[in-house]
Each structure stands twice: as structure tokens, then as C-alpha cells.
Amino acid sequence: MKSDSAKHVVIIGAGFAGLWAVKTLFGKKGIRVTLIDRNNYHTFFPLLYQVGAAEVEPEQIAYPIRTLLRGRRNASYLRGDVSRIDYANRKLSCNDRRIGFDYCIIATGSGTDYFSVAGAERFAFPLKTLDDAMILRNHILTCFERAASMDDPDARRKLLTFVIVGGGPTGVEFAGALSELIRGPLKKDFISLPMNDVSVVLVESADRVLPMFSPKLSAYTTRRLRKMGVDVRLSAPVKEISARGVTFMDGSICASDTVIWTAGVSGTAPGSDDRVPLSRGNRIRTLPTLQIPDYRQVYVAGDLVYLEEGGAPLPMIAPVAIQQGRWAALNVLRQERGGEPRPFAYRDRGAMVTIGRNAAVARIGAREFRGFIAWIIWIVIHIMNLIGFRNKLFVIVNWIWDYLFFERSVRLILPGCCVSPEGNACLHRPVSST
């Protein structure tokens, strides 16, 4: 299986960047690849918010890595955490083992950045991993169950107030999906609960949501969300998050037991004794070829890359990660074949964000779309990109069903998923009890 003369490429992270990197190296002569990830599955991040909003099941947006590598004799998977990289000696530490490499592609992506907002890390729910999404789903459903047997109206209102901090794509999509979950199936499930007590609040510090689109689409998004019952608060910077809820810079307070933080992300590179140039937000400043300046055998791809194009850094989104993963792998091949690595150029095909039933915004090339047509585009593109036939089928069935019947199938509070081994928001933050 392993040819001794083959060069060893280690890819860290099986997100979009890592996955497209390993695919590019499948079957390439003289190359063997080890793909390392702490999870044995790839997560389709664009639909993560739907797991949090009990729309699809976690298994439906994840795919086993080993199945993706099946039959590829030059690629293997290692489940583990890379704790350190020794760039100079081309070695890394994983599960207490030292693993040498000829080339490395770091695609460890990004994590939640709380921007040093007081209490945010402790009291807010992140939404970056499948685990986060399941914990959030359990927590939201638990809030409703507790509210159902709660007599104190203030405590009940606090349990039923859901504040989403951050008006980017994740914040907008989650606010829309949560509002539909509540106003559809949960309203029918909890007929004894006064629905006036329920509120979904979307908080954004800037004066508009979705800054990557034109102001017109931002305004449309805000209008649609408000029509769906979401309380959109613009120009509302957050000062503190606590057990009481969210405190804004102007001193006002929104009492809530559930604050979801989608406002910031930052790079999560493995530690190292060697110095690599970092940008604001802990991303690695690479050469245009995606190489790390002093260690030309090490590439970076995806959210972790800080690379400017036309004066602005590339966004941390799936299309950039996919193209960079592929590009980093191609540059490894070029370098290995004695050629020169070439600079990466992002082919921007567009962007899209769904708001809710029949409503989305999209940009394809220079054209902008909104409403039903954008929503259909969003659905088609997401189903096409979801990995695995069964995942596609199950997600389609769920979406059609929910569309026709205003229903959600996935509303279980699975007890095993309330506490992650590392400890998390659920541990820090038990729902206040009377």
C-alpha cells in the first residue's frame, strides 16, 4: 500500500478545503496522503444552522470520511487532534505520536471569535460544529418544555426569548429557520403557551445585515425577517452577555436564556514553536501560492488563510475553501514535479443566503436575485453539493414535507447530546429554574 519512495502529504482537517485537497491527490503517483481530522465525518457546514433549528438530522449533513477515501490506495484517514506542528523539521504531533511529512496542507478552519465581549464565551451558544448545533437544538426545545410548566410570566418570557448576535449569513439563516420552527410546529405542540411571550431577536452592530450584498438586498432581508416575526435590531452593539441576557452598549437589556453567537470567527491553527505570520483574527498570512513564507513545504487552505485580493481579504466561505484546497494540492504536485507553485486566484461565482420559506437573496456573478427565484437557486445548489445520495434524498424529503405541512420531524431532546466531553455552553449555562 505505501511505497517507500512516495512523498507523504499530510492534510489536517476534513472540511471543504481539506476534502478537496485530498480528492485532488487521489491516485497521484509518488504521493501518499494522510488526512487527519478529530471527527470521523465531514460536516456540510452550510446546512449546520438547520440542525440547530431542528430542520434536518445531524447525520444528514455529515458523511463518513473513510467512505470518501474508499478504494483510494494512496490515501488514508487518521482520527485525531494535531496538537503541534514542527514546521522546520516537518513533523507534527497527533494522538501522542509524531508523524513526519514531506508536505503539509493545514486546513483546520476557524472557530468562534467572541471579540472579548464580556461573558460571551461563557454564556453564549456557538454554532460552528455539529456538536454545537445539536446542543443548541436540545437547549431550545428544553426551553419550551420548561416554559410549558412555568407559572412566573417574566421567567417564562426569558425562557422564550432567543437572541442571535450577528447579522451575517449564519445569523440571518438561523433567525429565519428558528422563527419558522417556532411559528410552525412548536406553536402547534405547545398550544397552552402564549405565543406573545416568544421572541426571536437578531442583533447586528452595523446598520445593515448581510454586508456582502448590496444595501438593497440587505433592506429586503431585514423586511422579510421582520415580516416573519423576527425582531431585527440594527446598529445595536453588544456590551455584555450574562445569565440575565444581552446588555447593549446603550445600557438596555434584553432578558434571555438563549444567546446564540454568530458574530465572529477566527482561525484555529495548531500550535507551533516556529513562528508563522498571523493576521488579525489569528489567520495565517500566506504567500499568494498559499505557502507559508518560511516553510515552503507547508500550505494553508480555507478559512485559516489570510490572503488579500484587490485590497480586501478573501471571505471565509465554502467556495473559497474548496478552490484553495484544490489549489494547494495542485501546487504540491507542481512543486514535487520540479515546477513552481502558482498564485491562487479566487473565481467568485457568487453568494447566497436563505431567509425562510420562499425567500432568499443571491448574487450570481454581478447579478442579484431575491425572493422565490433566489430561494430555488439556493435549494438546488445546496442539494447538489451535499455529499451522499441518501443525505440528498433525506434532506429533500424533509424540506418538501416541511414546506407542504409547516412541520418538522426532528424535535427530539436527546439526553446524550446535552454535554460534550470538553464542556460547553450547556455546562456553563443551565437554564435558570424557578
Which residues lie near a second copy (CB under 8 A)? 1, 38-41, 57-59, 62, 64, 66-67, 70, 76, 78-80, 95, 97, 130-131, 134-135, 141, 145, 148-149, 185, 188-190, 192, 388, 390-391, 393-394, 397-398, 401, 409-421
Which DSSP category does 1 fall into? -
Q: Which residue has the cell 432581508?
A: 221
Q: How far apart are CA 180 and CA 166, in angstroms?
A: 19
> Which residue is catalytic, options 173, 240, 309, 422?
173
Residue 390 beta carbon to a second copy: minimum distance, rounded to whole angstroms: 5
Task: Name the 3-class secondary structure at 150.
Answer: coil
- Hey, what's the cell of 433? 429554574
CB of 256 to a second copy, least distance (A): 21
Report the C-alpha gap between 204 and 158 in whole angstroms: 20
Q: How far is the CB of 249 from a second copy (least distance, A)?
A: 34
Nearer Cβ to a second copy (150/361)? 150
- Burial level of 248, CB count in 10 A (0-12/13-18/19+)? middle
Burial class, 44, CB count within 10 angstroms (exposed 0-12 / middle 13-18 / buried 19+): buried
Closest distance of CB 391 from a second copy, Å: 8
CA 203 distance to own-chain centroid: 19
Cβ proximity to a second copy, 37 vs 113, nearer residue: 37
Closer by beta carbon to a second copy, 54 or else 314: 54
Q: How far is the CB of 3 from a second copy (least distance, A)?
A: 15
Q: Judge whether 123 and 247 are in contact, CB under 8 Å.
A: no
* DSSP at 156: H
Nearer to a second copy, 116 or 149 (CB): 149
Q: Compute the residue count for the chain.
A: 434
**Contact criterion met (CB below 8 Å) for 354 and 364:** no
Q: Minimal distance in Å, beta carbon 190 to a second copy?
A: 7
Active site residue 55: no
Q: How far apart are CA 422 and CA 416, in angstroms?
A: 14
End-to-end alpha carbon distance in the chain: 62
Helix (H) / strand (E) element for 202: namely: strand 199-203
Catalytically active residues, by annotation = 173
